[in-house]
Structure 1
Amino acid sequence: MRTEALGPTADGSPLQLSVECRTSRNASRGRPHWIRIHADWSVETPHDLAAERVAAAFGGFTSCLELVDDVIPAVARSMGLLSRREPLPVQRRDGRSWHVKRIRGCCSAANFTTVQNAGDHLRSPAHLARQYGVAVRGLKAVLEAVNDASDAIRLDRVLEQHPGVGGLVLEGSGIRDLWAAGIHPSEIPAMAAHAVGVREALPVSYFVGLRYAGTDPDWLARTIVHRPDPMVASWLAWTSVQSSLACDDVGSWLAMGVGRQEIEALTAAMIGPGEAVDLATATHRATRSAARILAVWGTAGCRPSADQISLLDRHGIGDHVRPSAAAIDLLVKRARPYEPVPSRTELAVMLALTGSAHDVEVALSQGVRRAEDLA
């Protein structure tokens, strides 16, 4: 994105508009006259502004002075947001809502269901007027004039300079949705290029995630090559992995054909692909099947060994156990009096074999400390 300041018009010429000049704060109408806003946002008026500032110091009022000193600078500072050169100042909360900094007297809610709704609010004249402490009436009038004169803040005019980007976005309304989300069409090709190997159009959620979720685009690029699919790319754009080690593992899991939910469970539990390979080799399973088993156990906070899975296999339940984290938590508490207390995973395997926390507790009272000894 270009970073030079945007002027009020497309060609750099002055923007001339008619305003009503009020000499009382309580007046609803005033005498109309022209003003010119130049490319650097300096303003030319028929008034002697220096004299009016002196008058204002002694209690006088003219709406033109407020327009020049406050309203037009507010519009100039808003151009980055309005032109989508600046990302929206939003945060994702709890994976559901979009949070904006609440402006007193404006935002009845600081959370929005979509980033587009948040963007519409942040760019609205009412919000910008409150944000910069200016009159909404004057701000709206200047914004409307700039909207007509500038090529930078109207999507139809922007798209004339960036033909073909619509083919990179899956949804029919995708370009418009991204514009509402604060993403400029000129950025779309570079963002799409991070989805290395993906030949189809990418969903809006991919671009929004890449912009606002904080995902490393270089990591996404080297990971998506293992499964170049638009939906996987979108998932990766929103993926938050807690460690660099687990981050590097995601590509290997994808190459093995492991599903997205299972990968999330495996990375959260810090279980690496090597463990799935070892389990598959020891138990004569497909690697993907071994990964699925480890993901199920990892979700419950357990990390079974190949020997423990083999024990469950001998009882015909190795592929069917769905350990409950809550049940295991309760069993861990009930096992505390029986020293030495088996590991969480050992207790979970014992529970899977007996099917009853009571039976495990009885076994512990009899000195059993390993699932193997239950047999």
Structure 2
Amino acid sequence: MTSPGQDLLTITRRPDTVFASGQGAWLTDEGGKRHLDLVQGWAVNSLGHSPALITEALLRQSQRLLNPSPAYYNRPLLDLAARLVGLSCFDRVFLASSGAEANEGAVKLARRWGSRMRGGAHEVIGFEQGFHGRTLAMMSASGKPGWSEIYPPMPTGFAKARLNDLASVERAMSPRTVAVMIEFVQGEAGVVMADPGFVRELRALTAERGVLLIADEVQTGIGRCGAAFAYELFGIEPDIMTLAKGLGGGVPLAALLCKEALNCFQPGDQGGTFCGNPLMAAVGLAVVDEICRADFLAGVRERAAQLSAGLRAISRDHALQGERGLGLLRALVLPADCADQVVAAAQALAPVGLLLNAPRPNLLRLMPALNISAAEVDEGLALLRRALAEVLG
């Protein structure tokens, strides 16, 4: 029997499992085995698998209008933009399809502003271990080790500083600097948090130097951290913010938001065939309306506290290195480079499996649906204990 995927371009190592359906916190494979999913498409399925809310929004909008082109307004585009402005500190919105596209748009906007207001300043400072997407420019903006060697020559104009080290940001600044781009939680680095004091000092420094602050909230935005946007938890306002992943709840949708003073694109400067299409915008509006209610966000914080406490107990019982995170974006640090073995053991559990993510060799990342139940959190923790026992003894 041949393995699945023989017709696909090789881009990652996948287990042979083929998933057929999903509901809420659970995925079911073609063999009928159920898996409790604590990955959820890398924090994409903010309301779990196949929520009725998204199904209904897709069906309703698909019967009305799919894509009149970005050259015209459509009602879901306008309504979602207004909703995001109303929820945030921003004044303008551009809708796109992926986080990398939104982040690239943020860099374009900053450079357009720099060309007009800062004498051609164009360089963007990012952070070591940061991740902003997989386009060539966003790979250069990211601080992932080794990425500069995969597709040379890489786009230039991106400097690097160290997270939580303000002096390193100051050293990276020059008259060419137009913006600093930060993730408040570096997900791909292993759920590494920015220190709130550092973020406040960074905001003060950028404001003093006339440099923009870009918040990459592709993974942390739309309720993931227990607030509508993570920047709220750090007590600052960025100049530009990007969203994706949980914004669409599983469909391809992203957003670039900015203050009015940065609304400097000229017609033709930015666009895209699918940008702001009503089908995805209708889903995004339904998702945002559901997640950004005060009672829903309170539930996220409750489940986050439950998950964090459970991970701390596991860490104590197995003599691990601890857990960390913000909201329902958490990591468990292992005592050795055995994360891949734990992921495989967890999926192989019977009668039900557990899906985990290992962004680092010694670390597990957990990104459950934001509406996961207390009972499902407890079941996930129990399954995780079993997988750790198999690997660690």
Structure with the larger RCO, 1 or 2 (CA within 8 Å, 6+ apart): 2
Query: Which structure carries more helix by proportion?
Result: 1
Query: Which structure carries more strand by proportion?
Result: 2
Larger Cα-atom Rg = 1
TM-score of the pair, normalised by structure 2: 0.24
